[in-house]
Structure 1
Amino acid sequence: MTVLVYDDDILVASSRLDLIQELKTFLDNTFKIKDLGALGYFLGIEASSTADGPNFCQRKYALEILEEAGFLGCKPTNTPMVHNLKLTHDGTPLADASCYRRLVGKLLYLTPTRPDISYSIQQLSQFVDNPTDQHLTVAHCVLRYIKKSPGQGLFYHANTNLQLKVFSDSD
């Protein structure tokens, strides 16, 4: 059983429904809780469940980021960052670094359901102290990548006999 607590919100997950019910009964007797039913939306993460398994994404949040940055109508791209790009402090410093910092912060909050952008955002976050026009250009590339599939997220297949196969090349 997994229990996630954030302020006055509690998320309980388990493969055994009887354990969940037992915990809910205990919490209700102790604290008088309100059961909101099956998971749908928690801390900005949208959850949906099918017979194949649960899916988690942040589509609404991704679209809000794109709208705020003015990238809803942009042309999408296939990669979040140019391959083998080494970011440096070269370039023209931004006149207002707060917009860059805010954008990178918002993108960081998107990474739990979008591991595909984690490396790019980690690289961009190293330059929040003194961002340049080059860093902002890369951040805009990440936005165009998100535009391609704002509802992309994590899917966990219900068939536990499947093995997870992963390849990673992060130079």
Structure 2
Amino acid sequence: MTLPPGLPSSGQNQVCKLEKSLYGLKQASRQWFAKLSHFLIKHNYNKAIGDHSLFTKYSSSNSITVILMYVDDIILTGNNTHEISNLKTLLDNTFKIKDLGTLKFFLGFEIARNKTGISMNQRKYALEILSDIGLLGCKPSNTPMTYGTHLFQDSSAPFHDPPSYRRLVGRLIYLTNTRPDLCFAVQQLAQFMANPTITHHNVALKVLRYIKGTPVIGLHFSNTSIVQLKAYSDSDWAACPDTRRSITGFCIYLGTSLISWKSKKQKTISRSSCEAEYRAMAITTCELTWLTYLLEDLQYNFSLPAIMFCDNQSAIYIANNPVFHEEPST
């Protein structure tokens, strides 16, 4: 750090005592979170076990107030308008906040409401990616990747600008927050951030051409869904030509609303398709457990158990009968 212009210095070996955290330092976000958390807990808000950035407050009249934080951006909701107004006043008196009204845009997410529920997409963010790359006028593609494509560290020429490839894939990763249809393709591209080739860059351009034709695809959360978690788990087997590892894929619904999904390479090599499917089921179970804790923090009353679907009979038998747990390795 250097002294700001105009501040006199009487000599060397002096330090500055910070009265508050400076914006931009690595410690700034942690200090801000600690201060805001202390403020909310002081006013009887409870930190959620499943997500430490989520705070809830309940009253005896079945009212609930929920706060979700991302650094200094806050979403506030609930069914107690008096408590919401009181909290906004307290936050403004303590931190000087700006009330942006009804939630319509948040961190690149566009939110819209209607009689059937809430819709969310990243249309503006997707169009910004296309504009920055110069593909706003490109011909759309029907699919993000050619069917059956599995990328590997091929022998094609290295891409001439690796930093731009990394920036593009990083932005695509953020786009998958509302685009589960891009998860597998982006997962494939993200494996080659260190040494991308021309082939990898061409596949990334095909993903962008698919986004050009589907910029408004997003999520819809129905207001009539039943409170039941349903998970669908799947896996390929040794499909990666470089590592021979399998890829896990799952999606989880709350009623009819998709709330969680993932496409990720497994950490170890599976010696059979049954073992790969069983590992995928284990990863999906961990996600179901976390979502259960999160919904319990929001006081969701589960009347029906969570259900998992898998298309591998051997993995299902092993999951149902612990005696067969050694079977995948034989």
Fold similarity call, TM over 0.5: yes
In the alignment, the residues of structure 2 paired with residue 70 and residue 170 of structure 1 have an alpha-carbon distance, to the nearest angstrom, of 35
Are 1:71 and 2:135 an aligned pair? yes
Q: TM-score scaled by structure 2?
A: 0.47
| 1:104-160 deviation per Cα after TM superposition (whole angstroms, max 9, x unaligned) | 111111111111101211110110100011111110111011111111111111213
| 1:56-114 deviation per Cα after TM superposition (whole angstroms, max 9, x unaligned) | 11111111111111211111112111222111111211122122111111111111111
Q: Which of residues 114, 121, 133 in structure 2 aligns to 1:57?
A: 121
2:67 counterpart SS class: strand
In the alignment, the residues of structure 1 paired with residue 132 and residue 235 of structure 2 have an alpha-carbon distance, to the nearest angstrom, of 30
Taking only aligned residues, the RMSD between alpha carbons, in angstroms, comes to 2.3
Q: TM-score scaled by structure 1?
A: 0.86
In structure 1, the residue matched to 2:215 is 150
In the alignment, the residues of structure 2 paired with residue 43 and residue 95 of structure 1 have an alpha-carbon distance, to the nearest angstrom, of 31
Q: Which of residues 14, 33, 36 in structure 1 aligns to 2:97?
A: 33
Matches within 5 A, 1:1-171: 1-14=65-78, 17=81, 20-28=84-92, 30-90=94-154, 91-161=156-226, 171=236
Letter of the 2:206 partner, please give it: C
Compared CA separation, residues 10 and 125, structure 1 to 2 (3 A): same
- Kindly state the Cα deviation for residue 161 of structure 1 after the two structures are TM-superposed: 3.5
1:146 counterpart SS class: helix
In the alignment, the residues of structure 1 paired with residue 233 and residue 116 of structure 2 have an alpha-carbon distance, to the nearest angstrom, of 25
Larger radius of gyration: 2
In the alignment, the residues of structure 2 paired with residue 153 and residue 125 of structure 1 have an alpha-carbon distance, to the nearest angstrom, of 22
Question: Which structure has greater strand proportion?
Answer: 2
2:210 counterpart SS class: helix
Structure 1: gaps spanning 5 or more residues: none
2:222 counterpart SS class: coil
Letter of the 1:3 partner, please give it: I
In the alignment, the residues of structure 2 paired with residue 154 and residue 16 of structure 1 have an alpha-carbon distance, to the nearest angstrom, of 27
Aligned length: 171
| 1:11-59 deviation per Cα after TM superposition (whole angstroms, max 9, x unaligned) | 1233554554454344345444332210011111111111211111111
Compared CA separation, residues 74 and 166, structure 1 to 2 (3 A): farther
Letter of the 1:130 partner, please give it: N
